[in-house]
Amino acid sequence: MTAQDVMIRVTLPDGSVREYPKGSTGLEIAAQISEGLARNVLAAKVNGVVQDATRPIDTDATVQLLTWNDPEGKATFWHSSAHLLAEALESLYPGVKFGIGPAIETGFYYDVDLNGQHFSQDDFRKVEDKMLELARQKNAYVRKPVGKADAIAYFEEKGDPYKIDLLQGLEDGSITFYTQGGFTDLCRGPHIPNTGFIKAARLMNVAGAYWRGDEKNKMLTRIYAVTFPKQKELDDYLHLLEEAKKRDHRKLGKELDLFAFSEKVGQGLPLWLPKGALVRERLENFLRRAQVRAGYQPVVTPHIGSKQLYVTSGHWEKYGKDSFQPIHTPDEDEEFLLKPMNCPHHCEIYKTKPRSYRDLPLRLAEFGTVYRYEQSGELHGLTRVRGFTQDDAHIFCRPDQVKDEFMKVIDLVLYVFKSLGFNDYSAQVSLRDPENREKYIGSDELWERAESAIIEAAAEKGLTTVMELGEAAFYGPKLDFMVRDALGRKWQLGTIQVDYNLPNRFELEYVGADNQKHRPVMIHRAPFGSMERFIAILIENTAGNFPLWLSPDQIAILPISEKYEDYANDLFFALQEHDIRGFVDLRDEKIGRKIRDAEVNKVPYMLIVGEKEQADGTISVRRKGGAATGQGGDLGSMSVDAFVALFQQEVKL
């Protein structure tokens, strides 16, 4: 039997097992399945590792053929596009030197040293054109193992100090080059088969970035870009970005008078304006009512705590460098911290008196404001701030109660999502990284018990889950809810965490039925996560068109002229009795202008009153177009009672 006759067994994602000659590539396997698949394969995942679709497979293996529709296929496409960008830059800017060019969630970037040459957005088009010119050559991405000495010699001759710097940290025998066309780069891959897959390219932004993120190093030029296998997909993406700009919570927050920032108050510290405070208050009241029904008890804790509290919890050791610096009092040895977490405070509440197994579960809830230091460059509207309020709660329960309590929290999170229109979500089981256990506290046994409880609870609830190693909190695994908004973007909102470790560190106890002392288990949960971030995402998801019950102004009463102002005011006070909130527009403006302004300000209902309405004791009702119900426009004349009934019916939706 010749080497070519040796067969390997390949297990495909559907569980089927097929035999192929040893040394077959992912592309060859795809071609035997279908020509259409072979035309779309970007990479192959072999025994869990993504590699070039053109690399031979020499042993029995599980194989997944990756296309643009797979996240890892898309990442491979974009990383290969970064090499294409570098090739275009090298041809247009002689002497350019290259740092790194990774794929990111929204495309890719390359950090480059242009050696003093000018580059701005005015140059984007010529680089894009060059990229597509090179892409049409369909040059293969060719992988080549290189010895460390030869690799260093290559980049020394080329005069590329950043690649030499990268090579210093690599082991001989692990180094590979990739070449496409006339461009060679230091890279471990993987890459798409050839440049011809890239049919559309757009440079998105240019910024500065210190080499290796160290401000002591040279500032490089970071060029952000995105590519697609079809021009239509790029067009759709650019349209989506325009929609995202319209929905940007920072823009809408200002236009709708919801929140503001002040340099004098401090970066990352939002100021909630009256309308924004109303939205917050209604969200909090909504969750408070749900929590009361679920057996939670409210607590309030201080905005600061003794440094020793966070030393005990482990937060100081893990996050001390990312916290605000300690607050010193006149007593020499006394130090406090702005509260970075609510959980240590709740542990101390638990310890205020002896607990029995009959007292558990104990569910403590708090809308607690916490403070964490974020670098100024990382702050972003309400989604990344330095002071934020968590809808935090901690459940202290017996080990036999963990799964049941966890599933009840899942029910609460899903109730919140349904009520606020977040219907497209998945659940991520965030586990510890088994290769980096020093990041975490607690024994292997406790971690395994906590992880098993989460996986079992999610399965019993029928949740679609993905497992993510290394995403756990330092004290325990968690279930993170990933929500897709109206633009298809993914956000982490609700989170639930199982924790066997903080009860140990705080020496929490309860007396069991056996009259012996036992440790409770702690479940951390936050359906909103952070109020600031949740509201930011809600603004963008709804484009500012909040559900009726949440709108800061639910109605605008619009008198046609000043003759009907008294009737409008009487109507306003009558509707307030039904907990319907809004305002009377008494400006000396034409009714058309008043209607347009109410629409712009996202007011759900406009109640127009004039001579006929006053005489009949009625109102002319107009619903804002494009609101949550999809029923915009003129709804006609109706009695006040009929409108109240209509309003209350929609609030219940």
The CATH code of the domain that includes 239 is: 3.30.980.10
pLDDT at position 556: 96
pLDDT for res 468: 77
Same domain, 468 and 359: yes
- Kindly tell me if the per-residue pLDDT of 637 is higher than 70: yes
**Hunting for tokens 């202290």 — which residue is that?**
396
Residues 16-23, mean pLDDT to the nearest whole number: 92
**Residue 135 pLDDT level (bands cut at 50, 70, 90):** very high
- On whether both 337 and 462 belong to a single domain, the answer is yes
Domain count, the chain: 4
Is 343 catalytic? The answer is yes
347 annotated as ligand-binding: no
pLDDT of residue 1: 38
- Could you tell me if 647 and 597 lie in one domain? yes
Contact status, residue 170 vs residue 188, Cβ threshold 8 Å: no
Could you tell me if residue 251 is inside a domain?
no
Say whether both 218 and 268 belong to one domain.
no
Check if 524 is active-site: yes
Considering the domain boundaries, does residue 2 fall inside one?
no
Q: Is 392 a catalytic residue?
A: yes
Q: Which of 113, 392, 480, 499 is catalytic?
A: 392
Query: Looking at the predicted structure, is the pLDDT value of residue 449 above 90?
Result: no
Which residue type does 85 have? Answer: L
Average pLDDT over residues 364-383: 90
Query: CATH number for the domain including 614?
Result: 3.40.50.800
**536 and 604 both lie in a single domain:** no
Give the residue-averaged pLDDT of 23-49: 92
pLDDT per residue as tens digits for the range 561-600 = 999 999 999 999 999 999 999 999 999 999 999 999 999 9
Catalytic position from the list 339, 355, 386, 524:
524
Q: Are residues 168 and 201 in the same domain?
A: yes
Looking at the fold, whether 61 and 83 belong to one and the same domain comes out as no
pLDDT band at residue 627 using 50, 70 and 90 as cut-offs: very low
Q: What is the pLDDT of residues 463-496, one digit of tens each?
A: 878 887 877 877 778 888 888 776 677 788 888 8
Q: How much of the chain, in percent, has pLDDT values that exceed 90? A: 70
Summarised one tens digit per residue, pLDDT across range 378-432 is 889 998 899 999 999 999 999 999 889 999 999 999 899 888 888 888 888 888 8
Of residues 51, 291, 390, 497, which has the active-site annotation?
Answer: 390
- Residue 475: what pLDDT? 75
In the set 202, 345, 372, 525, the catalytic residue is 372
- pLDDT (mean) for 321-329: 82
In a domain, 463, yes or no: yes
The amino acid sitting at 647 is F
Whether residues 230 and 280 share a domain: the answer is no
**Catalytic site includes residue 397:** no
Q: Which of 111, 313, 362 lies closest to 212 in space, CA to CA?
A: 111
- Where b means 16+ CB within 10 Å and e means fewer, 516-535 reads eebbbbbbbbbbbbbbbbbb
In the predicted model, is pLDDT for residue 316 greater than 80?
Answer: yes
581 catalytic? Reply is no
Same domain, 153 and 229: yes
What is the number of helices (H) and of strands (E) in the chain? 20, 35
Percentages of the chain per state (helix, strand, coil), in multiples of 5: 40, 30, 35
Domain that holds residue 377: 259-542
pLDDT at residue number 486: 66
Q: Which of 394, 408, 518, 624 is catalytic?
A: 394
In a domain, 249, yes or no: no
397 labelled ligand-binding: no
What is the reported pLDDT for 4? 53
- Catalytic, out of 247, 478, 525, 622: 478
Average pLDDT over residues 290-312: 94
Last residue in a domain, options 34, 49, 67: 67
Whole-number pLDDT of residue 349: 97
Residue 286 covered by a domain: yes
pLDDT-derived band at 619 (thresholds 50, 70, 90) equals very high
Contact 379, 267 (CB under 8 A): yes
Q: Are residues 286 and 386 in the same domain?
A: yes
| Higher-scoring residue by pLDDT: 138, 1 | 138
Asked if 187 is an active-site residue, the reply is no
* 531 lies in some domain: yes
Last residue of one domain, picked from the residues 472, 507, 542:
542
Same domain? For 235 and 314 the reply is no
Exposure of 224 by Cβ count < 10 A (0-12 exposed, 13-18 middle, 19+ buried)? middle
| Helical (H) or strand (E) element with 181 | none
The answer to whether 394 is a known ligand-binding residue is yes
Considering the entire predicted model, what is its pTM? 0.79
Predicted confidence (pLDDT) at residue 601 exceeds the cutoff of 90: yes
Is 402 inside any structural domain? yes
pLDDT band at 653 (very low <50, low <70, confident <90, very high): low
Query: Any catalytic annotation for residue 264?
Result: no
pLDDT at residue number 488:
72
**Residue after which a domain boundary falls, among 244, 273, 295:** 244
- At 628, the pLDDT band (50, 70, 90 cuts) reads very low
Residue-wise pLDDT for 92-120, tens only, equals 999 999 999 999 988 999 999 998 899 99
Give yes or no: residues 375 and 488 share one domain: yes
What is the mean pLDDT of the segment spanning 518-543? 92
Strands (E), 282-374: 297-298, 304-306, 327-328, 335-338, 362-371
CATH number of the domain at 32, please.
Answer: 3.10.20.30
Tens digits of per-residue pLDDT, 168-221? 989 999 999 999 999 999 999 999 999 999 999 999 999 999 998 888 899 999
Q: Is the pLDDT of residue 626 over 50?
A: no
CB 27, CB 38: distance < 8 Å: yes
Burial zone of 101 (CB within 10 Å; 0-12 exposed, 13-18 middle, 19+ buried) = buried
Q: What is the pLDDT of residue 376?
A: 80
Question: Domain containing 411 — which CATH number?
Answer: 3.30.930.10
Q: Considering Cα of 603, then 604, then 609, then 615, what sign does the dihedral take?
A: negative
Residue 254: inside a domain: no
Residue 271 contacts residue 263 (beta carbons within 8 Å): no
Assign 445 a pLDDT band (cuts: 50, 70, 90): confident
524 has pLDDT over 90: yes
